[in-house]
Amino acid sequence: MEKILLLLTILSISVFTQASLTDSNLRACLTSSYLKVSAFPVFSGTGDTFYDKQGDSYTPEGTYFYPGEKGEMIEKRCSDATYVSDPSIMPDLDTYPIGSFPGKDCNLRRDRDGAIFPMFHNPINEKVFCDYHEVNAPSSNLEEMAFCDYHEVYAPPSNYGPPIAVGSHLGSAWFKLSVNWYKSDPTSNGIRYYTTSNRWVTEYWPNGITIYTGNVTASIYTFFKSYGLVLIEGRLAVC
């Protein structure tokens, strides 16, 4: 009888633990200070000098692409990118033109042993620790739990519009963005945000993108450009 009661108690604890890590609780946990991503360094330093808590240094390497005036993709070395480490700086396009910040293909090489780490770290589908429980964070769960804000956006011809803050975060957070244009002209869609490497970065995306931000207080910014002859309007969803 005692063994049966013990088994039922264990099962009850297991069910409670599983339930406490689902739905809105899981999302809140994953975006809180309890989030611990294993094996990924916490970076410090300024400019293109990166250090982790153990004092190891890292060097940017690789190349990335950004769109040119006519939509052609231009290649640039990650070591030639501009690295801004202050999350409070508004990364306007006049001061930091298109292509200034590193792109999603940039990596950081640890100088001590040559180990490679992505500059754009996204722990979706990795094992993480929430409230001391190891759980999986599949993207499908995050999408189901997302609450979306909608923005009317514009893509002017020839030049990008100014970066617009479309979301803010206190600590690390996921954002899923998608845009629906009311006209079929080709566009270039850009987003600037503060990533886990503790630098501002830029990504370009055709219709939708999911990002993971650094553990700071900052905003995410979008900017758009039309390759047609007239300004076009659209609706941006930020989830």
**pLDDT tens track for 208-238:** 899 999 999 999 999 999 999 999 999 999 9
Where are the domains positioned within the chain?
A: 36-238
Q: What pTM value is reported for the model?
A: 0.76
Query: Which CATH entry fits the domain spanning 36-238: 2.60.120.380, 1.20.1260.10, 3.40.50.2300, 3.40.50.150?
Result: 2.60.120.380
What's residue 125's pLDDT? 47
pLDDT in tens, 110-140: 999 999 988 887 765 454 444 444 444 434 3
Q: What is the C-alpha to C-alpha distance for residues 207 and 61, in angstroms, rounded to an integer? A: 28
